[in-house]
Amino acid sequence: MNYKTQMEAAKLGIITKEMETVSGKEKVDVHKLRELVACGKIVIPANRNHRSLNPEGIGDGLKTKINVNLGVSGDCADYSKEFEKVRLSIELGAESIMDLSNYGKTNTFRKELIDISTAMIGTVPMYDAIGYLEKDLMDISAKDFFKVVEAHAKEGVDFMTIHAGINKHAVETFKKSNRITNIVSRGGSLLFAWMEMTGNENPFYEFYDDLLDILYEYDVTISLGDALRPGSIHDSTDAGQITELIELGNLTKRAWEKNVQVLVEGPGHMAINEIPANMVIQKRLCHGAPFYVLGPLVTDIAPGYDHITSAIGGAIAASNGANFLCYVTPAEHLRLPDLNDVKEGIIASKIAAHAADIANGIPGAREIDNKMSDARRRIDWEDMFSYAIDGAKAREYFESTPPADKHSCSMCGKMCAMRTTNKILSGEKVELKGE
């Protein structure tokens, strides 16, 4: 039997090599996995032209995955620095990289990225449209936008953020709202501007079936972008956000009917108490499709520390239904992140994802925590460094102020609780002055 997408294969009862890989990684029965891919609750973004890909699954019952955003801008157009970030992201175990380049001819960078990356690759074709087409925004036609989508698909992009839900109805709802930060989605704002200047409907909504035909041909997963996501906690869960989300649920079903895999994107900025309900609403309105969140950032006053505000929100979101976390770096809202910002953002997101996996009872999630706890009991520093998410940083901290006694650290010294208890349980005396 012939098939073009993972979803189509799953519906036909076919277990693909990508499903077998994900099954092995996740310790999930491959037949159960196939059923969940068939009904859209798990996606395996895997463009047939991305030959270096080590596939991953995203969805309920699987480990929470993280995404790294990178790419050049007009102010920072050094592709060599972006490839350093790519290599670091893969080394630190990020499952996904989104190329958000918005300056110049980005396809040279993107093709090389796809050639070398074992992580899945995502893009937002709307960002690339102006540079690719060499036209100003108002002069771009609906067909032009689709040319960029098809170019990205041919290159091997595994998933694309497409803001198909911001239609004229959603725009009118947005205009009637009392938002502080209006539209903060870059792609969403460009589409909003195009719609307002031309008077036309969103082409990705109006010609959605044509879009799905392109994505189906290459097995590109559509990541339904949330153009009206809240950019401040004041704006969260308002009529604009929910109106668009309802439309994204309809678009999800239409994509599944054409055997196109779907991710749904979500907030944004949101107070902690609103996060669990938002996850439930999204899953209900979008029929259980995997949920991809940026943060959520739980406060608006921490520029320079937004990797922390994001990790707090991400852990809560992922323990309440979100499946895919987009990292946020300390540079968020301030500048293009440098290499260290990328590392900080990845580590913060991995902490949030792992914490959620423990809360969700993902098979094997607690094992490494138990190993770390045992190493701490034994005061085995080398084992502790090996189990740490960032072992290099842990070692650097420990060695920066070395203890006189290797069976402790410089904070507690000979009063180390582990050391004291170990000695007593092994029948030794604890003599703090004489030792």
Q: Any known ligand binding at 39?
A: no
Question: Is residue 187 a known part of a binding site?
Answer: yes
DSSP E strands, 247-314: 262-266, 291-294
Is 333 annotated to bind a ligand? Reply is yes
Annotated binding-site residue? 163? yes
Strands 159-162 and 120-123: parallel
Would the annotation count 186 as a binding residue? yes
Helix (H) or strand (E) holding 344: helix 339-359
Q: Is 416 annotated as a binding residue?
A: yes
Of 160, 162, 81, residue with least CA distance to 121:
160
Judge whether 409 is annotated as a binding position.
Answer: yes
Side-chain-side CA neighbours of residue 352 (13 Å): 35
Strands 262-266 and 221-224: parallel
Residue 226 counted as an annotated binding residue: yes
Check whether 127 is labelled as a binding-site residue: yes
Q: Is 58 helix (H, G, I), strand (E, B) or coil?
A: strand
Q: Would strands 324-326 and 65-70 be described as parallel, antiparallel, or unpaired?
A: parallel
**326 a known binding residue?**
no
Does 269 carry a binding-site annotation? yes
**377 carries a ligand binding annotation:** no
Of the candidates 123, 120, 113, which has an alpha carbon nearest to the alpha carbon of residue 80? 113
Spatial separation of the C-alpha atoms in residues 291 and 280, rounded to whole Å: 10
* CB neighbour burial string for 385-416, b if at least 16 within 10 angstroms, e if fewer: bebebbeeebbeeeeeeebeeeebbeeeebeb
Would you call 293 helix, strand, or coil by DSSP?
strand
> Residues annotated in the binding site for [4Fe-4S] cluster, as ranges?
409, 412, 416
> Residues annotated in the binding site for Zn(2+), as ranges?
269, 333
> Residues annotated in the binding site for substrate, as ranges?
69, 98, 127, 163, 185-187, 226-229, 265, 292
> Residues annotated in the binding site, as ranges?
69, 98, 127, 163, 185-187, 226-229, 265, 269, 292, 333, 409, 412, 416
